């Protein structure tokens, strides 16, 4: 049983508050079929991307889009630290994935990256390249890695390589992501700038 589930197996402790910028104005639920549709869905991994900083998330929101404030129903310590060397159960999971990967030079590079203490992001990039030799295409292989991580009880990743904490939640976690509010820019014709709360909690 993963450490973030309580002894009854029913509750999750320590939800994450984060923000998602999107050109879409009417998101009601995060849909795996829409990953990458805005061109930003695979920035730090295949999944739903969020930031702890609403201003950072807003960079991915065109004038007509929205910034969504969300609650992610997983504690941060359940996520893979993409900017650090894998450890604990995350190390075991990634080691198993590498062992099952296609046998080629990039699999060997992933093994070496892990042994040298490289970041999880670097190790997974080498693993991805080992899959890419199978001609499935980068996006499909990124989805495969995300699925394999989720199957090994790793729901997502987190990194601070870009400044504020950035999160990626893998497909399968969408039911744990609750939209609390959405924000947008006031029309320029009103002579106002900045974010305006356009939805109250529970709406």
pLDDT tens digit sequence for 83-138: 999 999 999 999 999 999 999 999 999 999 999 999 999 999 999 999 886 556 78
Where do the structural domains in the chain lie, given as residue ranges?
Answer: 16-24+34-79+156-183, 85-151
Q: What is the pLDDT of residue 65?
A: 84
User: Which residues, 6 or more positions from 164, have their beta carbon under 8 angstroms from its beta carbon?
Assistant: 51, 52, 53, 56
- Structure tokens that stand for 79 in this block: 């996520």
Q: What do you get for the CA distance between the two ends of the chain, in Å?
A: 34
Q: What is the pLDDT of residue 62?
A: 75
pLDDT in tens, 5-40: 444 344 445 899 999 998 887 889 999 998 876 655
Q: What is the pLDDT of residue 114?
A: 96
Residue among 13, 3, 49 nearest 171 (CA): 49
pLDDT in tens, 143-195: 999 999 999 999 999 999 888 999 999 999 999 999 999 987 544 333 333 44
Whole-prediction pTM: 0.82
């Amino acid at each position: 049983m993963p450490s973030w589930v309580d002894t009854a197996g029913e509750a999750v402790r320590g939800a994450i508050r984060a923000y998602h910028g999107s050109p879409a104005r009417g998101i009601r639920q995060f849909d795996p079929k829409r990953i990458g549709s805005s061109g930003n869905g695979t920035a730090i991994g295949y999944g739903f991307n969020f930031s702890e900083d609403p201003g950072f998330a807003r960079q991915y929101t065109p004038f007509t889009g929205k910034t969504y404030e969300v609650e992610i129903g997983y504690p941060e310590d359940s996520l893979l630290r993409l900017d650090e060397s894998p450890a604990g159960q995350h190390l075991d999971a990634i080691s198993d994935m590498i062992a099952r990967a296609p046998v080629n030079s990039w699999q060997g590079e992933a093994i070496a990256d892990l042994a040298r203490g490289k970041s999880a992001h670097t190790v997974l990039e080498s693993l991805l390249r080992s899959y890419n030799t199978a001609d499935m295409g980068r996006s499909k292989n990124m989805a495969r890695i995300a699925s394999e991580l989720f199957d090994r009880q790793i729901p997502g990743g987190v990194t601070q390589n870009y400044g504020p904490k950035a999160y990626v939640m893998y497909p399968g976690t969408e039911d744990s992501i609750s939209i609390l509010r959405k924000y947008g820019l006031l029309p320029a014709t009103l002579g106002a700038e900045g974010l305006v709360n356009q939805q109250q909690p529970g709406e």
